[in-house]
């Protein structure tokens, strides 16, 4: 499995007053419950952003990354985008080219390999994209 290259799309980078929004596609073939997201890591211009500084938005709700594993009743539909909001000292301007790397680790809830152990999917994608 190697759907990692689908996490970021050409239109992933969004202007946000807090810094930068990054729209992510679920790196799997189907919608998954947010509880399947084990972790999201972001680096901007090669600089890792602490996970506790990130906010995740889906369908009008906002979560900390650490809260995602508890969200077993919220679906991340494969044509919807999860927006990770990254705080930056200087918000990224429209048209600016920004180098971002996003890593999403999933736990696949129907592929159990041992009691309470599930197949994982590790998706890492690094691209330089224009902010929209």
At its nearest, how many Å lie between other proteins and the CB of residue 18?
26
**Is 20 within 8 Å of 131 (Cβ atoms)?**
yes
Tell the burial category of 48 from Cβ atoms under 10 Å away from its Cβ (0-12, 13-18, 19+).
exposed
Nearer to other proteins, 99 or 119 (CB): 119
At its nearest, how many Å lie between other proteins and the CB of residue 70?
7
At its nearest, how many Å lie between other proteins and the CB of residue 99?
19
Instruction: Quote the CA–CA distance of 50 and 28 in Å, as a whole number.
Output: 25
Nearer to other proteins, 85 or 106 (CB): 106
Nearer to other proteins, 93 or 116 (CB): 116
Q: How many other CB atoms sit within 10 Å of the CB of residue 24?
A: 25
**Interacting residues toward other proteins by CB under 8 A:** 1-3, 5-6, 9, 25, 29-33, 35, 69-70, 72, 75, 77-80, 107-110, 112-116, 118-122, 124
At its nearest, how many Å lie between other proteins and the CB of residue 105?
10
Nearer to other proteins, 93 or 114 (CB): 114
Which structure tokens are listed for 77? 């539909």
Q: How many other CB atoms sit within 10 Å of the CB of residue 16?
A: 19
User: What values do phi and psi take at 86, rounded to 5?
Assistant: -105, 125
């Amino acid at each position: 499995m190697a759907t990692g290259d689908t996490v970021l799309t050409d239109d992933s980078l969004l202007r946000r007053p807090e810094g930068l929004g990054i729209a992510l596609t679920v790196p799997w073939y189907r919608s998954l419950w947010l509880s399947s997201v084990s972790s999201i890591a972001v680096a901007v211009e090669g600089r890792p952003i602490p996970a506790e500084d990130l906010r995740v938005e889906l369908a009008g709700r906002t979560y900390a990354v650490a809260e995602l594993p508890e969200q077993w009743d919220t679906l991340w539909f494969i044509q919807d985008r999860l927006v990770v909001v990254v705080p930056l000292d200087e918000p990224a301007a429209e048209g600016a080219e920004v180098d971002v790397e996003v890593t999403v680790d999933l736990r696949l809830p129907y592929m159990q390999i041992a009691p309470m152990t599930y197949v994982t999917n590790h998706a890492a994608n690094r691209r330089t994209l224009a902010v929209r």
